[in-house]
Amino acid sequence: MKLKFKTTQNSVSECINCSLCTKNCEFLDKFELDLSGFAKNSDLAYNCFLCDKCYEVCPKDIKGSEVSLNLRLQKPRKFKLLEFKKEPYLFENNSEKISTELFFFGCNFVGYFPKTSKKIIEIFEKEGVDFSIDCCGKPLFEAGLGAEKRLIYLNELFKKKKTKRLITACPNCYHFLKPRLDIKVSSLYEKLDEMGLLSTFSNEIDLFFPCPERANYEIYSHFKDKLPNAKNTFSDVNCCGAGGLAMSNEPEVAQNGVSKVLAKSNQPYTYCATCSGRFGASSRHISSLFLGVDEKTNKHYALNVLKFKYYKKGRI
């Protein structure tokens, strides 16, 4: 599988107006803008999915997500419902249990993959690893509202639980928290590999790469040897449509991402529960595959999230 790895990132002032970003982004194409033009249009700040498909092709290594986030900071919009849901997270489930390693589900995983969630909890329980269902703060950060309060809260929570290492289910949590927390952050796949629970699957699978992995495919590197025949089937798709709070402003672009994926595969695999949620019942999560759980994306998201708010509550 050929993937482009990038480590450098430049300011939009380096743009040479080659239009490659425009050709690779439906949002930019719709407004006939390249990233330097986008940087002058603060009204479009919340139309970008923060997916960085543009960064993948940019010869000057400019990130559309940075352009958009800078515009959002200049003119933040109000997201009252988002703040109400996420600060504090309405469906959080944390305990006071001491846990030097802690499994962090994030917000969406338990809603879309309840069977796999229970399996993970069961496996980690035997190892003395507690779980946390909570928001990492990335949605607030991407809204331009700042995530400082959330990060202080999480650091305090982990301090109380004497947590030294966070094990994450979600690629958004992983990439957002890793550079921002006081403790070590690992992916679920690193931990499963350490536990000898990452078997090799040589079947061909269609793998969708979530946006936060675009630059360095760090989480993918934790399991790629175990999926030798995974195919990068969806390399032309920008985003599942859930990124960057852009869905309401760009519903057609968001839906096109889903339609393209479903046109190419009747069983798209991902390692982001939010992407799976967008692709619907046919989509599967690779953690279910590794853990031997036969589970499609669950339709009863809201009910599952509510149930998990109380799952093993009061555990000691």
Rule CB under 6 A: choose which of 99, 117, 238, 304 binds ligand SF4.
Answer: 238
Instruction: Give the nearest distance from C-beta 238 to ligand SF4 in angstroms.
Output: 5
Q: How many Å apart are CA 216 and CA 220, to the nearest integer?
A: 9
Q: Does 140 interact with ligand SF4 (rule: CB under 6 A)?
A: no
Instruction: Identify the three-state secondary structure at position 133.
Output: strand
Q: Does 17 interact with ligand SF4 (rule: CB under 6 A)?
A: yes
Q: Does 247 interact with ligand SF4 (rule: CB under 6 A)?
A: no
Give the interface segment with ligand SF4, choosing from 46-54, 77-85, 188-196, 262-270 (CB under 6 A).
46-54
Give the interface segment with ligand SF4, choosing from 14-22, 102-110, 226-234, 259-267 (CB under 6 A).
14-22
Joined together, the tokens standing for residue 209 give 């790469």
CB atoms within 10 A of CB 192: 21
The site that binds ligand SF4 (CB under 6 A) totals a number of residues, namely 29
Question: What residues pair up with 208 in beta bridges, in sequence order?
Answer: 270
Phi, psi torsion values for 213, nearest 5 degrees: -90, -10
Nearer to ligand SF4, 64 or 212 (CB): 64
* Residue 153 to residues 26, 85, 89, 133, 144, Cα–Cα distance (Å): 37, 15, 11, 14, 18
Joined together, the tokens standing for residue 180 give 């921002």
List the 284-285 sheet strands across, edge first.
230-231, 205-208, 268-270, 284-285
Q: Does 180 interact with ligand SF4 (rule: CB under 6 A)?
A: no
Q: Does 175 interact with ligand SF4 (rule: CB under 6 A)?
A: no
Q: Does 255 interact with ligand SF4 (rule: CB under 6 A)?
A: no
Q: Does 58 interact with ligand SF4 (rule: CB under 6 A)?
A: yes
Angle between helices 114-126 and 301-309 (to 10 degrees): 30
State the residues that interact with ligand SF4 by CB under 6 A: 15-21, 25, 27-28, 34-36, 48-54, 57-60, 62, 64-65, 68, 238
